[in-house]
Every structure is written in structure tokens, then in C-alpha cells.
Structure 1
């Protein structure tokens, strides 16, 4: 088994166990009792998804660093780092306009957090797909 497949397997199995305990936006929607509790629930989901995304990013960097060591070419690693930086800027700006469109209403904060979570989940799925090919 290659190092890449081993890392992907470890990541996948570790997130299966974590995700069974992790909350989702849907969990927050069903457990909503007031705006403050709902916001805190979304904060927990956001923090959890941030940790998961960072793990996938670190995994991809590791894979590309290994590739660079073997081939002497760092262009893929550098471009991935740039794409991740661009993703973070895109996510922030895309979710911020949604926040501003609803501000100062009580739905502005949750809209931002839901957007942030959804885009982060999409990025995780993208990185996961790259590692299972």
C-alpha cells in the first residue's frame, strides 16, 4: 500500500469516528431554541469543519511535498498553496456579502456561518476526491 493510500485511509477512518459525534447544520436547525444557542451551535460546527478541512489541506501538502522531493518539481505544491489561499479569500468574501445583505437582522450571523460551513464541506469533498483517485 502506498504512503498516499495509507494517509487517506487513516484520514477517512478518523473522520468517520469524529463525524459520528460532530454536529451538523441540520442538528443545529432541529435543536434551535433561541438565537444565541443556535449561533453557538453553528460556531461548534464551524470549528469542527475548520479542523477537518485543515487536516485535509495538511494531507494534500504532505503528498505534494513528497512528490516534489521525488521529482524536484515544486510547482504543484506552490500552486496548491496559492489555490488554498484563494479559496479562503473566496469563502470569506462570498459569505460576507450574504451576511451584509441580511444585516442587521438576526439571520445575518447564521447565514454567514452556514455559507462558511457549506463551502468548507465542498472543499473537503474536493480534496477527498483527489486523494481517492
Structure 2
């Protein structure tokens, strides 16, 4: 029974990922302002976009890991998964550090610093999602 549910979950997840190719982000520029109350709305809007992109990215990561585990089970090649997991951890650390120095560069203006950090994070998340999607070509070549 667990195996059937697991298979259905994987199938459902795969369908979700393929069906949800593009993420529509909220246009936050209408809130951009130096006024404290509008700046708060602007930063909250950027946070919403970051959360949406993070969920989308995590879905692609999960799909890629599941496909790799299936490939590993089918072929016996156990080298790919640990390297992939390490690359994902390193990507996360690189993204965080790259955005953190941009934040610190604009200090002591907290609003400008937070905006720089959040815009950096959005750009990195978009780029990583594109990179994760491109691995789909490799999987098609491997007949996954």
C-alpha cells in the first residue's frame, strides 16, 4: 500500500512540475517608495515573490532528486546523487553569501539594503530554476 501511495505521489508531483512551467510574480514596483509605509509594502511584496520562487525551485529540486534516485536504482550508478546534493547545498550557500554582501554594501540604509538583498535573491532563484529545468534535457537523453 505504501509503495502505491508513494508512486502516486511521485506521479502527481511530476505532473505538477511539468504543468507549472512558469511562475507569475507580483509586480512590486507600484509599492516602491522611500516612504516607510510604502517601503514596508514593497518589501513584503518582494518577500511574497521570493516565497513563490522558493517553492517552485524546491519542486524542481525534488523532481530532479526523485528522477536521479530512480536512475540510480535502474543503473546502479551511485555517484551522481551525492554530487548533486553537494552542488545544491553549495548553490544555496553561494546564493546567500552573494546576496548578503550586497545587503551590507548598502548599509546603514536598511530599506535600500533589504531591497538589494531581496532583488538579488529573486534573480538567483530565477536563474537556478532555469538551470534546474535545463537538466530535463539530460534526463530525456537518459530515457528517464
Q: State the TM-score bracket (shorter-chain normalisation).
A: 0.7 to 0.9
Q: What are structure 2's unaligned runs of at least 5 residues?
A: 1-9, 139-144
TM-aligned CA deviation for residue 47 of structure 1: 0.5
Give the number of the structure with larger relative contact order, counting CA–CA contacts within 8 Å between residues 6 or more apart: 1
> For each residue in 1:51-98, what CA deviation from the matched residue of structure 2 results, as whole angstroms up to 9, or x when unmatched?
000000001100100011011122111111000000000000000000
Would the alpha carbon gap of residues 59 and 30 (structure 1) be closer, same or farther in structure 2, given more than 3 Å must change? same
Q: What are structure 1's unaligned runs of at least 5 residues?
A: none
Partner of 2:125: 120
Larger radius of gyration: 2
* Aligned partner of residue 73 in structure 1, secondary structure: coil
TM-score (norm 2): 0.77
TM-aligned CA deviation for residue 15 of structure 1: 4.1
TM-aligned CA deviation for residue 31 of structure 1: 3.9
CA distance in 2, matches of 1:60, 1:45: 23
* Aligned partner of residue 108 in structure 2, secondary structure: coil
* Aligned partner of residue 68 in structure 1, secondary structure: helix
Partner of 2:141: none
The number of residues matched between the two structures is: 123
TM-score (norm 1): 0.83
